[in-house]
Amino acid sequence: VLPSVLAVRHAKRHLARWMRPRRARLSPLFWPSRAMIVPQPLGVVGIVVPWNYPLYLAVGPLVGALAAGNRVMLKISEYTPNFGRVFAEQCLHYLGDDVVGVVNGGPEQAAEFVRLPFDHLLFTGSTQIGRQVMAAAADNLTPVTLELGGKCPVLVAQDANMRCAARRILQAKMTNAGQTCVAPDYVLVEESAKDALISAMKDIAQTSLSAPGAIPACIITEKHCQRLHALLETAEEDNKVEWLIPPGHGRDMGLALVDNPPLDGPLMQEEIFGPVLPVIGVRSFNDAIDFVRCRPHPLAVYAFTNDAKKIHAVHTDILCGGLVINDCALHVVQDALPFGGVRSSGIGQYRGVYGFETFSKLKPVFIQSRVSPTDWLLGPSSKLKARLTDWLIRWGR
């Protein structure tokens, strides 16, 4: 609720400035002409909302699309039918179905939804489904913004505060039971600090995450539970699994730590999207960077270190959707920052002014003056015109 409200307030506070036509700098060659960039609504925007954060991932892009002056249609996940019903009622009551239309239904309705000729389509979900959405949108040449998944790594250097790192990693991992696209997927820690980090994680899990009133690690459906247990099976055979928080009743899965799982196994090949955390020892922080660079570009990277050289190396050597130093996932709720992935982790970005621009056509406007130096280019050529043209080109640099 909080980031949804903050997104609305941020847009209301800054929208007048975002809408204002922007002066564009021209080469002196074209003076005294003028140019500007004018934001213009695209038309109708389609938004496909996932089940894990149905309110925030509906309101976030909706704010940007409405701020840009568009009409919007949203497809709500079939896994959140109660939310979908209430959200549709509220949108109808406060905005009207001529401004925002909410569609509820299953996979068949979703498939039809993404085939509609929207002026822009935003999808949040898995990389696999994202490919299908992009293919469907291509039939109408609909531009897409895809917020996808991937394995978000955590890099922990030996100089980091291990207890602080453990607390922030587990807090981000256990939010919504790890069912978050930017949740820490696995941890790469220098071997000299690995035991200290795991010890801190065990202590925090016992004292904080297992305390009375702690939020259970509830998985969305039994099908998703079975998928997570299947990922753990190969690691359990090698006795690499340790339950920091034991499983509870029903779909309360607890929290499992996996020590050095096989790198070619499904646990390190698939996005986990649940309360399972592999911890892998590496010889050095540079090895951790190389490990990440050899894999698909992640949606987010988290690095725990106080060494300026290591921070700079992460900045420059890893291409990713977002980077957080000494914490996890908090970049997502910053309306002053764009949110988006790279290739398999996403296409395009939104949030704040970046969402306004994503859902706008930034139209270039050139206004010619009554007298223009380019008028000399017309008509028969002459030595004088050639010299003048050469002088204008040199001066225009």
Give the active site residues. 147, 181
d(CA 224, CA 183): 16
Q: Residue 348: which region, alpha, beta or left (left: phi > 0; alpha: psi -120 to 50)?
A: left
CA-closest candidate to residue 158, choices 121, 113, 199, 188: 188
Exposed / middle / buried, residue 209 (Cβ in 10 Å: 0-12, 13-18, 19+): buried
